[in-house]
Amino acid sequence: MLIVMERDCSAEQLQKVVEKIQKMGFKAHPIPGEVRTAIGVTGNRTPLDPAEFETLSGVESAIAVTKPYKLVSREVKQEDSRICVGPVTIGGTGFVAIAGPCAVESEKQTLEAALAVKDAGAHMLRGGAFKPRTSPYSFQGLGLEGLKILALARRETGLPIVTEAVDDESVGLVEEYADMIQIGARNMQNFQLLKRAGRSKRPVLLKRGMSATLDELLMSAEYILSEGNYNVVLCERGVRTFADHARNTLDLSVVPAVKKRSHLPIFVDPSHGTGIREKVGPLARAALAVGADGVIIEVHPDPDAALSDGPQSLLPGMFADLMRDLGRMAPLVGRAMER
Ligand code: PEP
Ligand code: MN
């Protein structure tokens, strides 16, 4: 249920409605909009009667939400959400580039990558310290030591950090050392992890599972919002299909579909989406053209020596060229590179 307040309702009237929802044993999620505030109600297992709320003062209307997800839907919030990560705003007209190595391997490698992507104009630094790998024998990440290296890279460059958390313990550590929590494709439906991220104060980058539908991705985001964390950025990173010319099939058609169904920003990851260095630039440009709010791109100072995802990692020079192209393209598609 969505309760739409009158334009000029008072703070007391809003509070009375919130209290009523809480007394009924449900959760109230006030959603301030440009013209009026709405309140999303979650936690009810059966449909609520709109009349119960429409008679309260300050309430304009109460509407049943028809989708299985509520708080992430456009029905509940018309305006695009803007998510702040330090000084960077994701969503709105600015286009944001996150770049860095797949994994934090050493201080030298991470600082080199961080300085290079900063010079090229990236807005945020990525790099995994906890790596969920397909094989148990592959490099699993440096863990806490990796987070400390990322924090050092932030001090050196000023770039906010996004890095993956894989369980309860690592969410706690990522919250402490980084600016944004990444939830990877393999954990998109780890509901305990989603709930934990929902209780965090840090914004979340939620990647689409490798065979997840859009509704499943939105339901996973709903887990995070329903716990009170409204700062979620979705990320398309390719799905499994029969096509074998690339690691995954980057589903760019999901971007306008997300924009129609949800107010949350959507990023595109052309690195995991293709798995092939030469394809990253073309698909990053396509992501901008199709309306994505940003891209997340793997860059490594020496991809041939990378401990993970070398074949899809750009060399710093290739990334700089790409950033220049994106900057030129952005105004043509009604965007500007975020400052
Ligand atoms: C990553 O970003 O390095 C990563 C592991 O991505 P995904 O979860 O999309 O596979
Ligand atoms: Mn990777």
Euclidean distance between CA atoms 243 and 171, whole angstroms:
35
CB 229 within 8 A of CB 200: yes
* Mean pLDDT value of segment 104-131: 98
| Domain membership flag for residue 134 | yes
pLDDT of 33 above 90: no
Q: Does 330 have pLDDT greater than 90?
A: yes
Q: How far is the CA of 54 from the centre of ligand 1 (A)?
A: 46
Residues with CB under 6 A from ligand 1: 102, 128, 184-186, 207, 237, 269, 272
Task: Indicate whether 174 and 322 sit together in one domain.
Answer: yes
Q: Is residue 69 part of a domain?
A: no
**115 Cβ partners below 8 Å, 6+ apart?**
156, 157
Residue 186 CA: distances (Å) to CA of 127, 193, 213, 269, 286: 17, 11, 14, 15, 25
Q: Of all atoms in ligand 1, which is nearest to the CA of residue 185? A: 8
Same domain, 231 and 278: yes
Q: In the structure, what pLDDT confidence band is assigned to residue 274 with cuts at 50, 70 and 90?
A: very high
Q: How large is the average pLDDT for residues 126-144? A: 95
Q: Are residues 172 and 290 in the same domain?
A: yes
125, 206, 237: residue to mutate for ligand 1 pocket, most atoms within 8 A of CB: 237
Burial of 45 (0-12, 13-18, 19+ CB in 10 A): exposed
Separation of alpha carbons 290 and 216, rounded Å = 21
Provide the residue range defining the domain that includes 30. 2-63
**Strand, coil or helix: what is 282?**
helix
pLDDT at residue 67 above 90?
no
Q: How many domains are contained in the chain?
A: 2
The residue nearest atom 1 of ligand 1, judged by CA position, is 102
**Minimum-distance ligand 1 atom for the alpha carbon of 269:** 9
Angle, helices 168-177 vs 144-157, to 10°: value is 20
| pLDDT at residue 66 tops 90 | no
Q: What angle do CA 29, 197, 104 make, to 5 degrees?
A: 145
Nearest ligand 1 atom to the CA of 309 is 3
Whether 74 maps to a domain, the answer reads no
- Given this model, what pLDDT does residue 20 score? 96
Verify that 157 and 34 share a domain, yes or no: no
188 and 109 in a common domain:
yes
Percent of the chain's residues with pLDDT above 70 = 100
Q: Does one domain contain both 166 and 212?
A: yes
Domain identity same for 137 and 39? no
Per-residue pLDDT tens over the stretch 150-193: 999 999 999 999 999 999 999 999 999 999 999 999 999 999 99
Q: Are residues 164 and 126 in the same domain?
A: yes
Task: Report the distance separating Cα 234 and Cα 214, nearest Å.
Answer: 10
Per-residue model confidence (pLDDT) at position 68: 84
CATH number (domain holding residue 35):
3.30.70.1140
- CB of 321 within 8 A of CB of 120? no
What CATH code is carried by the domain that includes residue 104? Answer: 3.20.20.70
Instruction: Classify residue 71: in a domain, yes or no.
Output: no
Report pLDDT for 34: 83
The reply to whether 91 and 51 lie within a common domain is: no
pTM of the model: 0.95
Closest C-alpha to ligand 1, atom 8: 184
User: Of all atoms in ligand 1, which is nearest to the CA of residue 187?
Assistant: 8
Residues 31 and 88 in one domain: no
Residue 88 and residue 41 share a domain? no
pLDDT at 35: 85
Q: Whose CA is nearest to atom 6 of ligand 1?
A: 184
150 & 236 share domain: yes
User: Looking at the predicted structure, is the pLDDT value of residue 301 above 90?
Assistant: yes
Indicate the pLDDT class of residue 286, thresholds 50, 70 and 90.
very high
Burial (0-12, 13-18, 19+ Cβ within 10 Å), 194: buried
